[in-house]
Amino acid sequence: MVYHSSFVDEEGISKACGCPLLPLKSHIRGPAPVSEQDTTDIVDEAITFFRANVFFKNFDIKSSSDKLLIYLTLYINIALKRLEGCRTLAEGTKAIINLGLENVPVPGEAGFPFPGLFSPAQSQKEAELFRNYLKQIREETSGRLLSVAYRPNGTPNKWWSAFSKRKFMNMVLP
């Protein structure tokens, strides 16, 4: 059974491209509303559920927040593939920073991994809002992923690095 997001279409949450712009516990500037530090956000859920959800070939969407969970699960999978050859935390940090500097496509653009999952942007303003939200959430996810993918002494955590070989929903990305 797939783990779903606990954020079920809450009132007052704005959306872009059919995806809720959920609050984040983040110090990174961006369009996401700020969440309280002691609460669970979508990034926490994505990292917590990743090792279970990555085994599934299909993902039944129960809420629009599940779309964001799917996107983050794929992003974590890509990040772990980049961290695969990095033997120290410093090397891993450099690889993750380079991943964060890459172009972030939005629905309707070439290179977006889930063309049918999100609706295309209705305007350039909506596309930029969603692109900035995805950049912010990817950067926040990368920082938190480093803290679990590496042990306190800076060596890779084999219980996370082993999942770099998994394919999420049979998707193979660079």
pLDDT per residue as tens digits for the range 49-99: 888 888 877 778 888 888 899 899 989 999 999 998 899 999 999 999 888
Burial (CB < 10 A; 0-12, 13-18, 19+), residue 14, is: exposed
Q: What is the pLDDT of residue 21?
A: 92
Per the DSSP assignment, residues forming a β-bridge with 19 are 16
What is the distance between the alpha carbons of residues 87 and 89, in angstroms, rounded to a whole number?
7
User: 164 is written with which tokens?
Assistant: 């770099």
SS3 24: strand
Ordered per-residue pLDDT tens for the chain, 174 residues: 677 777 776 677 888 998 899 999 988 899 998 988 888 899 999 999 888 888 877 778 888 888 899 899 989 999 999 998 899 999 999 999 888 888 888 988 888 887 788 899 899 999 999 999 999 999 999 999 999 999 999 999 988 888 777 776 656 554
Give the C-alpha distances (Å, rounded to integers) separating 70 from 14, 104, 125, 143, 170: 19, 16, 24, 19, 13
Phi and psi of 150, rounded to 5°?
Answer: -125, 145
Q: What is the pLDDT of residue 139?
A: 92
- Identify the residue whose tokens are 């609050």: 23
From the list 10, 34, 2, 19, the residue with the least C-alpha distance to 112 is 19
Buried b (16+ CB within 10 A) or exposed e, 101-139: eeebebbeeeebbeeebbeebeeeebbebbbbbbbbbbb
Domains and CATH numbers, the chain: 15-170 (1.10.1760.10)
Q: What is the pLDDT of residue 113?
A: 84
